[in-house]
Structure 1
Amino acid sequence: MEHSTQETRLPARGAPGEHGSRTPGIPAQRTPEPVENGVTGHRAHLSDHETGLPLPKRPVFDDVEDERRHRKQRLAAAMRLFGKFGYAEGISGHLSVRDPEYPDRFWVNPFGRSFAMVRVADLICVDPDGKVVEGDGLVNPSAFVIHYHIHEQRPEVEAVAHGHTTYARALGVAGRLLEPVDQEAAAFHGDQVLFDRYDGPAVDYDMGRTIAEHLGGNRALLLSHHGLITVGGSIDEAAHWYFTYESSAQVQVLASQAGGVNAMTADEARKAKDGFGNPHLGWFSFQPLWEEIIAEQPDLLEE
C-alpha cells in the first residue's frame, strides 16, 4: 500500500480587524513575516521545505511488491520519455533501478528493446553475477558492468541513467563539463566529473568498476567520446538530472555559438544549486512528465 502526504498551508484570508482594516474588494494588508528558510514575507508560509516550495512527500510503501511495481513503472516511463525525446542511439543507452527487496539486484531495459516500446513487462532483473533472474530478455554487457558497479559502490543511489545524447556528447568531445550557464545547469555545480579517457566500449568488468570509481560521489559523469551518466535517489530523480544535463548542454553549445558563455559566478551558482539542485525537487520535477507519458502511452504499464 502506498502512502503519500502533502501539507500545503494556504494564505489566511484577511478578515475585518485582522492585520488591519479591510475595504471590500481589496485584500487586507499583511505584515511581512520573518525570513524563513530563505523565503521572506507572505511566501514563507507555503512550505516548511528548504526550497520554499510546497513539495509533496515521496510515497512510502507497506508492501515490497507494491514498491517494486512502483519502481518498475517509473523506470518504464523514464525509458518511454527517453524515446519520446529522441535519446535513443541504436542499441545504446540503459536505465536501471535498484530492487527494493534485494539491493544487490537491479531492474534494467533488455538488450535491443527500443526505448519507445518498453513496457513494465519487458524489464529484466539482473543479479551480481550478471544473470537475468526475473523477466525475459538479454542483458546488455555494458548495462551490467556500469550499473552493477555504481549500485554496488553507491548504496544511497537507487537509480542510474545512461545515454549517448547529442549535446552531452558534444561537451565530451570538447572535454568540457557543464558550466553554470543558468539556474538549471547550476544543479550540477561541483557535482559532476569528466572521464577524459577512452578504452573502448564499456563491456569489461574492470572498466565498469573504473567508471563507477571515477563517478565518485557526484551526480553526473560525462564520458569523453562516449556519453552521459546521471544518478539519483530514485529513477524519477536520476531521469530528471539526465534531462536537465542534456538540455543545459544544448544551451551551453548554442550560447558558445552565439558569442560566448556568460556563466554565473561561483556564489550565484551555489545559490541556484540550493534550489534547482535539491534532490527532492529533482524527484518532484519528474512527476508532470510521469503523468504526461502514462496519459499518452498507457500501454507502458502493461505487466
Structure 2
Amino acid sequence: MDEIDESEYPPFDGVEPYGTVRSIDAERAHRKRMCAIGYRIFAAQRWGQLGDGHISARDPEFTDHFWLLDWGVPFGEATVGRLVLVGPDGEVKDAEGNPTGAVNTAGYNIHAPILAARPDAVSAAHTHTQFGTPWSANVEPFRALSQESCAFVLDQSIFDDEEVEVLSVDGGKRIAAALGDAKLCILRNHGPLTVGRTVEAAVAWFVMAERVAEVHVKAPDGRAISDEAAEIAASTLAPEISGWRVFQWLQRSLVSDPSVVD
C-alpha cells in the first residue's frame, strides 16, 4: 500500500511530523516515550488489568533489543523510567547494559521472534480485550463490516494454534510466521496482535482492531461492503501514516497530560 503524502494533512500542534529523522539518542527517547504513552492509552481502555499484554519498542541502536514495561507495573503507571531493555537472550537490562528489572515472559516469547522476523517493524502490541479475544475464538478474519475494518481486510493473518500461553520462543516464532508481512494477526482464542513501523502505529492499529472486533461480535452476520469499496477505503485508512495519526487523536483524548510519562 502506497504511503499518504503528509503534506496533504494539516499538522498536529506541537507534534513532530510523521517520518521525522532523529539522532539515535533522540529516537530512543521518542520511542520509549510513545511506548509509555501507549500503555497509558491501553489503561484508559481498561486493558491489562489482569497483568496481560505488552507493547514493545525496538531500540534504534541495539536493534535486536527492545523496550517493554517492567514486570508488575500497572499500565496506568507506565513511565519512560519504568521501561526495561530486553536483549535477544531474554536478559533484562537498562540503557547502559546493566541487568535490572524483570519482564513478562510471554512478552519476550512473543515480541522477540516477531521483531527478529520483521526488521521493518519498530513495535508490536497485544493484550486481551472485551471483543478481540472473543472474536478470535471464531478463527475467522475480519470482513469489511465497518469503515475501520478496511484498514485490515487486505492486511491481516490468522494464527490457528492452541498455544495461548506462549510458554516458549518457538510459540512466538510460529506467531511470527503466521503474521508474515501483515500488520494484524488474529491469535486463535487469544486476541489481536498488531505491528507498526512506529510505536504510534502499532498502538493505534491495536485500538482500531478492537473497534473492528466489536462490530464483528455485535453484528456477526452483517452485510459487508464490496471488495472494490473496501480497497478505496483502504487507500486512506491502511497506510502507516494513518495509524500514526490515529495515535495522535488517542493520546490527546485519553492521555491529556502526556508529561506524566516523563
Displacement of 1:289? 2.3
1:49-101, Cα deviation, whole Å (9 max, x unpaired): 28954467325344321111111110000000100011224111000011011
Number of equivalent positions? 251
The code of the aligned residue for 2:205 comes to W
Q: Corresponding residue for 1:231?
A: 195
TM-score normalised to structure 2 length: 0.89
Task: Find the partner of 2:66 among 76, 91, 106.
Answer: 106
Q: Is the 8 A contact 1:157 1:231 kept in 2?
A: yes
CA, structure 1 residues 54+298, in 2 after alignment: closer, same or farther (shift >3 Å)? closer
> Alignment partner of 1:125: what SS?
strand
Question: What residue in structure 1 maps to residue 249 of structure 2?
Answer: 288
Which residue is 2:23 aligned to? 63
State the secondary structure of the residue aligned to 1:174: coil
Deviation at 1:282, TM superposition (A): 1.2
- Identity within the alignment, %: 30
Q: Quote the Cα distance in structure 2 between the aligned partners of 1:52 and 1:267.
A: 24
Contact 1:159 1:232 in 2 (8 A): yes
How many angstroms apart in 2 are the aligned matches of 1:110 and 1:129?
17
Kindly state the Cα deviation for residue 199 of structure 1 after the two structures are TM-superposed. 2.6
For residues 216-248 of structure 1, give each alpha carbon's deviation from its aligned partner in whole angstroms, at most 9, with x where no partner exists: 011111111112110001010001100001011
**3-state DSSP of counterpart to 2:234:** helix
Residue 295 (structure 1) shift: 2.8
**Is the alpha carbon distance of 1:66 and 1:297 closer, same or farther for their aligned partners in structure 2, counting shifts above 3 Å?**
closer
1:49 aligns with 2:5: yes
2:48 and 2:157 map into 1 onto residues whose CA distance is 23
C-alpha spacing 1:183/1:292, structure 2 compared with 1 (3 Å): closer
CA distance in 2, matches of 1:69, 1:148: 20
Deviation at 1:297, TM superposition (A): 5.7
Contact 2:41 2:255 in 1 (8 A): no
Match for 1:49: what amino acid? Answer: D
Q: What CA distance in whole angstroms lies between the structure 2 residues aligned with 1:67 and 1:292?
A: 24
Aligned residue for 1:265? 226
Separation in 2, partners of 1:289, 1:212:
27
Q: Which amino acid aligns with 2:117?
A: Q
- C-alpha contact 2:142 2:149 (8 A) present in aligned 1: yes
Structure 2 residue identity aligned to 1:100: P
SS of 1:180's equivalent in the other structure is coil
- Is structure 2 residue 246 aligned with structure 1 residue 278? no
Q: Is the 8 A contact 1:51 1:275 kept in 2?
A: no
The answer to whether the Cα contact below 8 Å between 2:121 and 2:198 also exists between their aligned partners in 1 is: yes
Distance 1:50 1:68 in 2: 23
Contact persistence 1:124–1:134 (CA under 8 A): yes
2:113 matched residue in structure 1: 149
**Higher RCO (C-alpha 8 Å, min separation 6):** 2
The residue type equivalent to 2:131 in the other structure is Y
In the alignment, which residue of structure 2 is the partner of 1:174? 138
Match of 2:47 in 1: 87
Larger-gyration structure (1/2)? 1
The answer to whether the 8 Å contact 2:85/2:94 transfers is: yes
TM-score w.r.t. the length of structure 1 is 0.78
| Counterpart residue number, 1:97 | 57
Structure 2 CA distance for partners of 1:160 and 1:132, relative to 1, 3 Å: same
What residue in structure 2 maps to residue 119 of structure 1?
Answer: 79
